[in-house]
């Protein structure tokens, strides 16, 4: 039996968050680890339509910038960062970019770039260009 409690507005907000926690935080997350120099150019990652996408990249002092001109069929919905010192040489932060894929699109592309790439990432993200090609599959 549920215990009766008096819910204030903040509590209702938290209840919604709790419900969301139970429902999971399902999104596609891509990091620099997704890039493999041995992969063929234009490698496509299939994703389900309607599921958010997030890109996480090591940063600080370098800064990654979303390249809207080179990207397609995605809308940037948010940016953020996490302190993350001493994990990857030459970086102290993880920078995040959140995206929604356009309704009805069967392809999408995300490009983020930096002009201050640490040597530790030179072979993983050549030229400081992180590009991601997505194939959108109906759920």
Partner 1 sequence: MHRRELLGGTAALVLAQVRWAAAAELETLQSGPPYRALPEKQSKHGKLTTVLNMATGSFDVGGRTLRLPAYNDTMPGTLYRLRPGDTLKWTLRNNMTDDLGLPLGATGANEAQKALNYTNVHTHGLQVSPGDGSDNVYRVIKPGEKHTYTYKIPGPESGRPQPAGLHWYHPHKHGSTSHQGWQGLAGPIVIEGEIDRVRAVAAARERVMVLNEILINDQGETPTAGIVPTAGPVPFTSVPAMPMDILFPVNGVLRPDIDVRPGETQRWRVLAAGPHRVFHLKIDGHDMWQISQDGIPFAKARKVSSIVLAPGNRAEFIIRGGAPGRYAFRALAFSQGHPGGARPEKILGTLVSAGEPMNGELPGDLVEPLTIPAKARKVVNERTVRFSGDISTQPVQFFLDGKPFSGSRIDQAVLVGTTEEWTLINEDVFRHPFHIHVNPFQVIEINGQPTNDDSWWDTFMLPSKGSAKIRMYFRPDVSGLTVYHCHILPHEDNGMMANILLYGADLPQGFGPEGGHH
Q: Which residues bind partner 1 (CB under 8 A)?
A: 1-3, 5, 10-11, 13-15, 17-18, 21-22, 24-36, 45-48, 51, 54, 56, 58-61, 63-64, 79-89, 93-96, 120-121, 124, 135, 137
Give the N- to C-terminal CA distance of the chain in Å, as an integer: 36
Cβ distance to partner 1 smaller for residue 71 or 96: 96
Which CB, 20 or 75, lies closer to partner 1? 20
What SS3 state is found at 95? strand
Compute the least distance from the CB of residue 55 to partner 1, in Å.
10
Tokens of 66: 């979303």
Report in angstroms how near the CB of residue 72 gets to partner 1 at its nearest.
Answer: 19
Q: Tell me: cis bond preceding 101? Omega within 30 of 0 counts.
A: no
Find, among 86, 78, 37, 88, the residue nearest to 55 by Cα: 78
């Amino acid at each position: 039996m549920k215990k009766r409690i008096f819910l204030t507005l903040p509590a209702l907000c938290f209840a919604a968050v709790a419900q969301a926690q139970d429902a999971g935080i399902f999104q596609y997350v891509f990091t620099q680890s997704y890039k493999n120099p041995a992969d063929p150019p234009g490698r496509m990652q299939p994703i389900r339509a309607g599921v958010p996408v997030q890109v996480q990249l090591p940063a600080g002092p370098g800064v990654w910038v979303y390249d809207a001109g080179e990207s397609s069929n995605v809308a940037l919905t948010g940016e953020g960062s996490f302190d993350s010192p001493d994990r990857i040489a030459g970086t102290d932060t993880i920078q995040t970019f959140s995206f929604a894929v356009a309704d009805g699109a069967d392809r999408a592309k995300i490009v983020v770039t930096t002009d201050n790439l640490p040597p530790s990432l030179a072979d993983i993200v050549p030229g400081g260009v992180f590009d991601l090609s997505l194939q959108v599959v109906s759920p």
